[in-house]
Amino acid sequence: MSVDLSQFHQVFFEESYEGLDVMESALLNIDLSNIDEETINEIFRAAHSIKGGSGTFGFMEIAGFTHVVETLLDLIRSDQFVMEPDHVDLFLRSVDCIRTMINQLESGETCDMEIADELKVAFELLLDGDQISGVSSDADVSNGGAQEENIGAKGWQIYFKPELDILRTGNDPVRMFRELSELGELSTSAVTDEIPPISSIDPEACYMAWNLTLLGGATEEQVNEVFEWVVDDSELTITPLLSGEERGEDEPEAVKVKESAATEMSKSALEPVKETVVEEPSELQISTATAAKKTMVNTPTVKKEAKTESASIRVGTDKIDDLINMVGELVITQSMLSELGKDFAIENMPKLMEGLEQLGMHTRELQENVMRIRMLPISFAFSRFPRLVHDMSKNLNKKVELVLLGETTELDKTVMERIGDPLVHLVRNSLDHGLELPEKRLELGKNETGKITLNAFHQGGNIIIQIIDDGAGLNKERILSKAIENGLVTGNEHLTDEQINDLIFLPGFSTAESVTDISGRGVGMDVVRRNIQELNGSVEVESTEGEGSIFTIRLPLTLAILDGQLINVGEQVYIFPLVSIVESIQSHDQMIHRVSGGCDVLRLRNEYIPIIRLWEVFNVKPEYETVEDGLLVIVEGDNIKVAVLVDDLLAQQQVVIKSIRENYRTVNGVSGATILGDGTVSLILDISGLIKLAGVGRDSYKKINESNDNEAA
């Protein structure tokens, strides 16, 4: 039977990444003055598993490198080596190195061994030369040594006296004899001399010994292999039957040996036993090395397949069990309904209603639980930060304490994958621009060690992620002057603190006086905001000068489902994401102002809000053309509020988002589509796109508020 090992590669990659994460966080938490046994065991186990798995699945590059890592860890674990800060860094670099290698293998590339070789040299310097045997040197053993020396032998004479406890280890002489008989013609004769009198017999002990004669071309290696597990505790002598003997003569010869065997051979046994013990490891090594070679040859074909493999997700069995339960409920409800439908009488109406209600409930539960499958704890995204902060604070000479809160908060896998980079950017930003240097902090009467907190929690169908630092906070004056300098705002407008802080998210804004290695990577806060908005989320900043900043990211729990507000314009039904709706109002004359440039604005509580007529933008026929007749839905996108004129508000419901881009092409102002209960397709509106489409972007928003300010003045 041949098993295609490549089917397990993906699982191996994933568990290796997890193992590396475990290693990394344990290494970062390690207290060198008082190394916790379990921590070092944890690191060792992770490295050990990666080594074992990579060997099994034929990734010898990783197995070879992990071997030296593991060897040193083993020495540390057994207190034969004292770990110092430099070694922690070496291990951390190895973690990175293995991660890169796995990454390369996962994408079907060959491993870049440059760093691995470099690190390996460092490890070898730390280790005594002779301690690095195992995989690396095993691979060097040529299989030339594997030739059997006893080809000429006609067979083997074996004396085997197992230890008394052999049966209690699950070994069974009969089983071994059966195995031997597969190698050739076997004759056995039991030596029963040492069986004690029946009164003192232990029924579970084995008092017998055997003389065996094996005829045929079996090699000594093969014979040894049969006794591999018991050789250390047993008396075993294997002597070749002299060559040149005729087959027919073998039998009496063997019998002769048998006669004297019990006494003589057990005496002379000592020497040959030693011999077999010594030989064994080298044979073992050879067999593993050839096995390794075999699998290595296979890898090129395997790699191609790995590329096409789709990403998998590991789901807790409790989630699956819940699902199965729920499907069971659903099936029961379904059969109840179909029973009811067989010959439906009107008096069964209440029953039908009840059934439908149940169906609705189960469907909802099922939906929620299916969503939970894709949910992973945010610790997956948070886990990289201890390392990042560790490395960065070292580079910047800052002292930083990182606090992670709400790590078990669950989030959709796709959202998680896409929020990683923006999060990294924000944390980098806080570390680089937010936190002050230790001296400065002391001067200001703050704790020398700055604090960055990552906090995640659920709030009304959203997940909130906060990046909180106790650094300098945003410098509003500098932001404002920079914004004026860059022409993002004019000097004579009234901006609230919030609005000023928000300027940092505008394209082309950067206050960093010099571009540092850390955050000056050509990506600004505008990209952070855009990335988050692509996920239907938002990002805001609150800041108090001298006390720190709080960046708050708000994200939907999943990208597949949206809480929507259905609205209609004429016969068309559109959907607003519920999160973007601020309020809905019925306007009257006095609230509407017409400003130069042909744009109507709504004056609402001293704020001027541009009006967008949805029928105009999408060119559909509405029921109400004028603002006075219809309803105004105030929505917010890109931190701009607009009032959208619609005919009516319909239901609020969860809708399943279908991509328009994938099925058709990108449509401005529309983020997706969904299918409603009656089967019609409804478009989901993208507020920021809509604002651009209607041409009431920030500029006109600014102009409106300016001109009105002037009017007021």
Partner 1 sequence: MATILAVDDSASMRQMVSFTLKGAGYDVIEAEDGQKALDKAKVSSVDLVLTDVNMPVMDGIELVRNLRTLSDYKFTPILMLTTESAGDKKMEGKSAGATGWLVKPFNPEQLLATIKKVMG
State the residues that interact with partner 1 by CB under 8 A: 1-3, 5, 7-9, 11-12, 15, 42, 44-45, 48-49, 51-53, 55-57, 63, 67, 70-71, 74, 133-135, 138, 167-172, 175, 178-179, 204, 226, 228-229, 232-233, 281, 284-285, 288, 291-292, 294-295, 314
Distance from CA of residue 256 to its chain's centroid? 67
Identify which of residues 54 and 369 has a Cβ nearer to partner 1 in the complex. 54
Distance from CA of residue 426 to its chain's centroid? 21
CB of 31 to partner 1, least distance (A): 20
CB of 21 closer than 8 Å to CB of 387: no
Q: Which residues pair with 159 in a beta bridge?
A: 211, 237
Identify which of residues 12 and 91 has a Cβ nearer to partner 1 in the complex. 12
CB of 375 closer than 8 Å to CB of 323: no
Identify which of residues 178 and 594 has a Cβ nearer to partner 1 in the complex. 178
Identify which of residues 68 and 581 has a Cβ nearer to partner 1 in the complex. 68
CB of 568 closer than 8 Å to CB of 574: yes
Backbone region of residue 461 per phi and psi (left: phi > 0; alpha: psi in -120 to 50; beta: other values): left
Identify which of residues 2 and 619 has a Cβ nearer to partner 1 in the complex. 2
CB of 241 to partner 1, least distance (A): 24
Identify which of residues 11 and 403 has a Cβ nearer to partner 1 in the complex. 11
Identify which of residues 44 and 380 has a Cβ nearer to partner 1 in the complex. 44
Identify which of residues 231 and 265 has a Cβ nearer to partner 1 in the complex. 231
CB of 228 to partner 1, least distance (A): 7
CB of 284 to partner 1, least distance (A): 6
Identify which of residues 247 and 294 has a Cβ nearer to partner 1 in the complex. 294
Identify which of residues 176 and 555 has a Cβ nearer to partner 1 in the complex. 176
Q: How many CA atoms within 13 Å lie on the side-chain side of 547?
A: 4
CB of 6 to partner 1, least distance (A): 11
CB of 75 closer than 8 Å to CB of 270: no
CB of 360 to partner 1, least distance (A): 37
Q: Are strands 640-646 and 607-613 parallel, antiparallel or unpaired?
A: parallel
Identify which of residues 138 and 600 has a Cβ nearer to partner 1 in the complex. 138
* Radius of gyration of the chain measured on its C-alpha atoms: 38
CB of 48 to partner 1, least distance (A): 5
The contacts of residue 383 (CB under 8 Å, 6+ apart) are: 21, 24, 25
CB of 178 to partner 1, least distance (A): 6
Closest CA to 22 of 54, 50, 53, 52: 50
CB of 204 to partner 1, least distance (A): 7
| Nearest-angstrom CA–CA distance, 671 and 612 | 18
CB of 419 closer than 8 Å to CB of 532: yes
Closest CA to 97 of 115, 109, 85: 115
CB of 145 to partner 1, least distance (A): 16
- If you count them, how many residues does the chain have? 713
CB of 302 closer than 8 Å to CB of 345: no
What is each CA distance from 138 to 53, 144, 282, 286, in whole angstroms? 17, 13, 9, 7
CB of 165 to partner 1, least distance (A): 8
Contacts of 37-43 spanning 24+ positions with Cβ under 8 A: 37/77, 40/73, 40/76, 40/77, 41/77, 43/73, 43/91
CB of 42 to partner 1, least distance (A): 8
Closest CA to 5 of 306, 322, 400, 454: 306
- CB environment 580-607: b (16+ within 10 A), e (fewer): bbeebeebeeebbbebeeebbbbebeee
Instruction: Phi first, then psi: give them for residue 472, nearest 5 degrees.
Output: -75, -20
CB of 375 to partner 1, least distance (A): 19
Identify which of residues 288 and 652 has a Cβ nearer to partner 1 in the complex. 288
What single-letter DSSP state applies at residue 197?
P
Identify which of residues 234 and 705 has a Cβ nearer to partner 1 in the complex. 234
